[in-house]
Amino acid sequence: MESHEQIWNASFPDKKLPGTEQPEDGCCGARLRSKELKELSIVRYCGNRCGKGTEHLGSGNCKFHGGSTPAGTKSAVKKEAEREIKFLSERLGEAPGIGTPEIEAYQLASKMKQWTLILEEKMDELNDILATVDEGGVEHVRAVVEILERAWERYKSALEFMLKYDLRKRVLELEEHQARLVGQAFMAIILNQAMKLDEDQIELARSLFAKQMAELGPALEPTWAVGVTVDAVVVE
């Protein structure tokens, strides 16, 4: 059985066979409708990059196959969303447990700030060039600009939430509560009658305990406090 190239070259030896034999990843993939292909009963597919010449470069049909139409644009956005959802769903494993809400909020805000700083750094790398031109000559505002603006808004909302519910105070209360529990456990031990400690020994034990706690310092921070900044102190 003759290949597409053989059939095409027999009729059009001086012309390149257009398109690809099968739709390829990263390509437009629309079925070509040329008169020559139809006469030879050959089915070929567009090999242009997805979204070439449109505002959705990298996704959907190229501008020659309806990519710039409202329907083409909508379809491209839908396909991109489907790819992203598939990618994210594949990364989902067993969901981690949700910790104390106050700590979860602090950690989320910390990630928002980190993401914002990364985007700001990326903006500096662009050297104030806020637009780019794709292969089809269509100008686009760099997506990082819009993403950065959204990051600022979301980080601002997170800070407003934290202020509204005074999360700083509530996080400190959690840490103080844990310290009290440790102290109570220690005192319950040394005051136990089975220990048979006199008042001087109890006072010495209290003093040594307080000194040891002070020396340990940050090492006693609970695991849920890692990455949480309170009073400009970051738990390592």
pLDDT of 23-35, one tens digit each?
998 899 999 988 9
* The pLDDT of residue 115: 85
Q: What number of CA atoms fall less than 13 Å from residue 178's CA on the CB side? A: 12
Tell me which of 164, 179, 204 is where a domain ends.
164
The distance between the two most distant Cα atoms of the chain, rounded to a whole number of Å, is: 110
Q: What is the mean pLDDT of the chain?
A: 78
Most confident of 36-45, 125-134, 184-193: 36-45
Residue 133 or 9, more confident: 9
Q: Judge if 20 and 85 occupy the same domain.
A: yes
Q: Judge if 159 and 207 occupy the same domain.
A: no
Q: Judge if 157 and 205 occupy the same domain.
A: no
Collect contacts of 213-216 with beta carbons under 8 A, ≥24 apart.
213/179, 213/182
Closest listed residue to residue 103, CA positions, set 231, 23, 222, 232: 222
Q: Judge if 145 and 187 occupy the same domain.
A: no
Tell me which of 70, 91, 112 is where a domain ends.
91
Contact 11, 32 (CB under 8 A): no
Q: Judge if 61 and 140 occupy the same domain.
A: no
221 located within any domain: yes
β-pairing, 233-234 vs 229-230, is antiparallel
Tell me which of 123, 138, 164 is where a domain ends.
164
Q: Judge if 159 and 175 occupy the same domain.
A: no
Closest listed residue to residue 72, CA positions, set 59, 85, 87, 86: 59
Most confident of 49-53, 114-118, 136-140, 216-220: 49-53
Contact 68, 54 (CB under 8 A): yes
The interaxial angle of helices 167-190 and 101-125, nearest 10 deg, is: 130
Overall number of domains in the chain = 3
Residue 198's domain comprises 168-234
What is the pTM for the complete model shown?
A: 0.40
> Residues 148-158: pLDDT tens digits?
788 888 888 87
Closest listed residue to residue 226, CA positions, set 68, 104, 92: 104
